């Protein structure tokens, strides 16, 4: 005896092919968006703008700028902390941009192994 699926539950090969095409399109869109974001630059600051970090979408530091007045030989620890804070914020900004872009493409689907 064969089991029957309720109306609208089947679909056979046409629905499967459509789903595969949709998944391939989503994958292509994700790749394009990922490359676009990787080529972007993100700037962040810390210490009220005394330290500015520019980072790529690949999370590679492109530039660190320091205002001269932040360089105090008596307080190197503060400068180090400000650089670390600016770099970490730049990384978060780049990751958030990538994550947000992927969510728009996937419609918040939880795809293992993706951002």
Q: Is pLDDT above 60 for 36?
A: yes
pLDDT in tens, 46-93: 999 999 999 999 999 999 999 999 999 999 999 999 999 999 999 999
CB 30 within 8 A of CB 23: no
CB 71 within 8 A of CB 79: yes
Enter the tokens of residue 68: 């001269």
Q: Is pLDDT above 90 for 35?
A: yes
């Amino acid at each position: 005896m064969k089991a029957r699926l309720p109306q609208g539950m089947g679909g056979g090969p046409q629905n499967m092919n459509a789903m595969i095409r949709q998944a391939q399109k989503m994958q292509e869109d994700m790749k394009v968006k990922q490359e676009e974001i990787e080529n972007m630059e993100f700037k962040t600051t810390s210490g009220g703008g005394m330290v500015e970090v520019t980072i790529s979408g690949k999370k590679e530091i492109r530039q660190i700028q320091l205002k001269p007045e932040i360089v105090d030989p008596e307080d190197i620890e503060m400068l180090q902390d400000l650089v670390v804070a600016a770099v970490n914020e730049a990384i978060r900004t780049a990751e958030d941009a990538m994550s947000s872009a992927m969510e728009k493409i996937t419609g918040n689907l939880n795809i293992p192994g993706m951002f």
